[in-house]
A and B are shown apart, each in its own frame.
Chain A
Amino acid sequence: MRTSEPFRTAFCLAAAVMEASLLLAGPALAAEKFEADLGFAPYDDATRSDMAGRGAVTATLDGNTMTIHGLFEGLKSPATVAQLRLGRGIAVPGAAIAELTIRSATDGDLSGTVALTASQAKALRAGWLYVQVESVKLAAPYGNLWGWLLPAREKVADGVVERGQRFLPQLALPQK
């Protein structure tokens, strides 16, 4: 699904607000930034016709406080649950560690503030935390959308050539 312009605008505004709040916060400049593409959660032919939507999440870790903002669009049924989850590796699903606030709609936003333990913060830096969005039609265990939180980095458009070693999560992040 192509990202619609209103979605892009809203997301950029949200990101700008977050940037501004970080600037105003002063010491929070040192906060670590993460992002996730919300894409399809695992599905098969039985659930294919219900699978739709996408979104994006940004997160900052300031001390042990993680702040999450995200937008989603294009679900086929209203969102019901958003959670921060701890996997057993990058793209290895795991259990929920915090509930996030999400608008019960097919397009909307999600947010939350979570106090991470030291081991959870370590897992975040290893790429093991993810945001999962469930909907009326696509509930747990995997939900409708998920996105693995990885360090924020520049987006590369289709066909644009990257030189040298590009970002590969398993090489770039400190794995346990």
Chain B
Amino acid sequence: MPSSAWFKHRLPGIALVALLCVLPWRLTPLAAQTAEGTFTEAQSLAGQAVYQQSCAACHLATLGGAGEAPPLAGDKFAQSWSDRTTADLFTLVKNGMPLGKPGSLSDAAYAQLVAFILQANGAKPGAAPLKPDTKVAMKTVITGVTPPGLLVRKPAAAPADGGGRRVVQPPTGVTLARKIEHYTPVTDAMLARPPAGDWLMHLHDYGGTSFSSLNQITVANAKQLQLKWVWAMDESGRQQFNPLVHDGVMFVSNNLTNVVQALDAKTGDLLWENRLGPTLSFSANASRTMGLYGNLVIYPSSDAKLYALDARTGKTVWRTVVTELNGLIGGLNVINGKVLIGLTRCDERPVKEHCYIAAYDVNTGKQLWKFTTVALKGQPGGDSWNNLPDNQRSGGDAWIAGTYDPTLNLAYWGIGQAKPHTRDARGSGTGATDYTNSTVALDADTGKLKWYHNLAPGETLDLDEVFERVLVDYDGHKAYFTVGKTGILWKGDRQNGKYLGHAETVFQNVYTKIDPKTGDVTYRPDILEQEQWLSSCPSAEGGHNWQAMSHYAPADLLIIPLSQSCSLWGSGEKVFPMPGTGGKMGRLSAYEGKTLKPIWSFQQSASFLTSVVTTAGGLAFVGDFDRNFWVINAQTGERLWKARLGTTAQGFPVTFMVDGKQFVAVPTGTEGGSPVKKPTMLVENRTIFRPHSGQAVYVFALPDE
């Protein structure tokens, strides 16, 4: 029998052996832990077809994720799902997807989808099919490594019912062709100084003020507003459009079907209709903007084509294919005979086509210039990407229309965030990733960069600074204002981009310091440490999003729709109410432009999902998630009147005048990105209930005398 001394001598070795017996469970690569048989090969193949039809538009064919859609394969996915089960994944997918239509697929289709995601993460098929209640620890089946060839295999035919969606092909082309007589061509002079009764462009004017000089509807009589007409729009899709009005004609567009219509703005009668098509089952983008010039209506279709239609008949005058790659058309405006558009959704790496802002001849559709929105090697800011090859510099979406200063001949655009969203995923290190999150000032004739100012260098939480640039002049100096997702109202000099000031409009925990002299931001330390789950207030919904502010000129007030939610952000997003708000998601606040002083503010349960329009009648118009269309006293913030609509007020209200009578119009819509997803998660079916149909445009006016 060995002696105790022997034991004492051997103890370290015994301990080491014992340790090695335990350690393999910790050190063996995940690949070695996989179990088989959670789903069948046939399920995965069918799931691949469902995925391509219902998911790939956002999460990409590679499952790599883009924009607000998280990656569904890879290391990050495997890490973040390591402590959950296949049943959790089934529940998450069924409760949340497809976007805007959760639960619309059959349980069998969801199981197929989950099977495909599992296989794309290295899980091996077996003989037993996956069921909704199959509860297997994810870490025992997935590795995060996609089997070679899986994504290029030929998937099974899509389910006959489209995975739960019925696809109907409507007629195409001009289906009603009345000619509008006495239509006055829109001139450069009109665009520079819009006629009081018209709404000729996105956000009303080149300065993006969303302020109208109409003053028939006032603080005193707003309570008398009544519905004049409603026009139903095609259902589904991210309906967030901006009606345009000229000469008593309202032009509207339907996002998913690409149907453009002209309506009598006084009566709501249809004047012409062009069903351009195609009819899509889903789009990751919203067409928010159109343009008017001469006798043309410029329409960016949701399949990345630019159309010029005859505003009098609806007939197509020219058509240009903007891109045949994955990009889509974001913002649009018309300047000096050029159609400026921004390209968005250019997410995949290696990059085949960078996002850009481009100008097209308004009479021919020919491209005149192009400005790439990420700084490439050798360009100003090109050294801010941690030496990444140009084809790894992704993002910089130009999805919000820019504004324009005719005296400086400069176009001002906000640029979206770098992709992938996090620094470590994109490999950009501590680089600023110019020109993402920047204001860029471009020569409108040539597209040459005059200056840029990066408001969120090296951003890493999907909190981009892309939204409206509102131009306001003060006693000889030219300012621009913008609010990004952090909810910070920035003021800059639009001649040189210099920082002029800022105001924090909602709670934010992203920056610990904002330099009052330069505007330089300091990130919270753990954000730069890139921990797996990072707290982000505001959430990716943003304190502010595409719902534009308005500059109420009579009192120099910037009236801003704001949102209050937070998230833990990693591979996916977990949401929670913003501290200090009592769970109220919506806030409307007014700041004095000259001083950036807060003037008034109120909050409510429902997020505001329209832009703000102000008028010389002393009013602000805005709509919310809970179907309310509000009239607010612009000076005081007092709520004066509301109408309850069919569904969520969403898009860009406008006001206009026909035959001496002022009207105000507001669109409704049901789907969207994070500004819709966050209230859907936090308040819908808890305190707020709304129909998921009812897209339309509602038009109000005072009673007829």
With a cutoff of 8 Å between Cβ atoms, the chain A residues found around residue B574 in the complex are: 42-44, 142
Q: How far is the CA of A146 from the CA of B96 in the complex (A)?
A: 23
A154 an interface residue at 8 Å Cβ cutoff?
Answer: no
Q: Take A163-B599, A164-B598 as given contacts and tell me if A158 and B580 are in contact as well, using a CB distance cutoff of 8 Å.
A: no
Residue of A nearest to B573 (CB): A44
Q: How far is the CA of A164 from the CA of B603 in the complex (A)?
A: 14
Segment at the A interface, from B25-33, B360-368, B504-512: B504-512
Segment at the B interface, from A4-12, A84-92, A97-105, A109-117: A84-92
A68 to chain B, nearest CB (A): 17
Size of chain B's interface in residues, with CB distance under 8 A? 52
Q: How far is the CA of A165 from the CA of B599 in the complex (A)?
A: 7
B535 an interface residue at 8 Å Cβ cutoff?
Answer: yes
B387 an interface residue at 8 Å Cβ cutoff?
Answer: no
Q: How far is the CA of A52 from the CA of B580 in the complex (A)?
A: 19
A1, A37, A54, A90, most chain B CB atoms within 10 A: A90
A37 lies within 8 A of B572 (CB): no
Segment at the B interface, from A23-31, A58-66, A168-176: A168-176
A165 to chain B, nearest CB (A): 5
With a cutoff of 8 Å between Cβ atoms, the chain B residues found around residue A54 in the complex are: 583
A135 to chain B, nearest CB (A): 15
B526 lies within 8 A of A44 (CB): no
The 8 Å CB contact of B526, one of A2, A92, A163, A170, is A92
Q: Take A127-B579, A158-B584 as given contacts and tell me if A93 and B535 are in contact as well, using a CB distance cutoff of 8 Å.
A: yes
With a cutoff of 8 Å between Cβ atoms, the chain A residues found around residue B535 in the complex are: 89, 91-93
Q: Take A39-B583, A88-B526 as given contacts and tell me if A164 and B509 are in contact as well, using a CB distance cutoff of 8 Å.
A: no
Q: Take A162-B601, A165-B598, A171-B504 as given contacts and tell me if A46 and B576 are in contact as well, using a CB distance cutoff of 8 Å.
A: no
The 8 Å CB contact of A44, one of B512, B575, B578, B583, is B575
A119 an interface residue at 8 Å Cβ cutoff?
Answer: no
A22 to chain B, nearest CB (A): 23
B575 lies within 8 A of A42 (CB): yes
B607 to chain A, nearest CB (A): 13
Q: Take A142-B574, A156-B603 as given contacts and tell me if A45 and B567 are in contact as well, using a CB distance cutoff of 8 Å.
A: no
A170 lies within 8 A of B605 (CB): no
A148 lies within 8 A of B580 (CB): yes
B575 lies within 8 A of A46 (CB): no
With a cutoff of 8 Å between Cβ atoms, the chain A residues found around residue B96 in the complex are: 44-45, 48
Segment at the A interface, from B87-95, B409-417, B476-484, B651-659: B87-95
How would you classify the secondary structure of chain B's contact residues: helix, strand, loop or mixed?
Answer: mixed
Size of chain A's interface in residues, with CB distance under 8 A? 44
B687 an interface residue at 8 Å Cβ cutoff?
Answer: yes
Q: How far is the CA of A90 from the CA of B602 in the complex (A)?
A: 22
With a cutoff of 8 Å between Cβ atoms, the chain B residues found around residue A49 in the complex are: 91, 95
With a cutoff of 8 Å between Cβ atoms, the chain B residues found around residue A147 in the complex are: 579
A144 to chain B, nearest CB (A): 11
A92 lies within 8 A of B601 (CB): no
Q: How far is the CA of A88 from the CA of B96 in the complex (A)?
A: 30
Q: How far is the CA of A167 from the CA of B564 in the complex (A)?
A: 14
B576 lies within 8 A of A41 (CB): yes
A20 an interface residue at 8 Å Cβ cutoff?
Answer: no
With a cutoff of 8 Å between Cβ atoms, the chain B residues found around residue A52 in the complex are: 686
B227 an interface residue at 8 Å Cβ cutoff?
Answer: no
The 8 Å CB contact of B639, one of A1, A43, A159, is A159
B186 an interface residue at 8 Å Cβ cutoff?
Answer: no
B583 lies within 8 A of A159 (CB): no
B318 an interface residue at 8 Å Cβ cutoff?
Answer: no
The 8 Å CB contact of B576, one of A42, A45, A159, is A42
With a cutoff of 8 Å between Cβ atoms, the chain A residues found around residue B681 in the complex are: 43-45, 48
With a cutoff of 8 Å between Cβ atoms, the chain A residues found around residue B102 in the complex are: 45
Q: How far is the CA of A164 from the CA of B637 in the complex (A)?
A: 12
Residue of A nearest to B87 (CB): A46
With a cutoff of 8 Å between Cβ atoms, the chain A residues found around residue B598 in the complex are: 164-166
A167 lies within 8 A of B577 (CB): no
8 A Cβ contacts from B523-538 to A: 524, 526, 535, 537
Q: Take A46-B89, A148-B579 as given contacts and tell me if A166 and B601 are in contact as well, using a CB distance cutoff of 8 Å.
A: yes
A158 lies within 8 A of B605 (CB): yes
A161 lies within 8 A of B575 (CB): no
A40 lies within 8 A of B682 (CB): yes
Encoded as 1 (CB less than 8 Å from any A CB) or 0, chain B from 571 to 597 comes to: 011111111101110000000000001
Residue of A nearest to B92 (CB): A46
B580 lies within 8 A of A164 (CB): no
8 A Cβ contacts from A119-176 to B: 127, 142, 146-148, 150, 155-156, 158-171, 175
With a cutoff of 8 Å between Cβ atoms, the chain B residues found around residue A163 in the complex are: 599-600
26 A-B pairs with CB atoms under 8 Å apart are A1-B686, A37-B577, A42-B576, A44-B92, A44-B96, A44-B572, A45-B93, A45-B97, A45-B102, A45-B681, A46-B88, A46-B95, A49-B91, A89-B512, A89-B535, A90-B579, A91-B507, A91-B566, A91-B576, A127-B579, A148-B579, A155-B582, A158-B603, A166-B598, A168-B580, A170-B507
Binding site for A on B (CB under 8 A): 84, 88-89, 91-93, 95-97, 102, 504, 506-509, 512, 524, 526, 535, 537, 566-568, 572-580, 582-584, 597-605, 636-639, 681-682, 686-687
The 10 closest A-B CB pairs, nearest first, are: A45-B96, A42-B574, A46-B92, A45-B95, A148-B579, A161-B637, A39-B577, A92-B535, A45-B92, A42-B568
A40-B583, A46-B88, A164-B599 known, 8 other contacts, Cβ within 8 Å: A37-B577, A40-B682, A41-B576, A45-B95, A54-B583, A88-B526, A93-B535, A146-B576
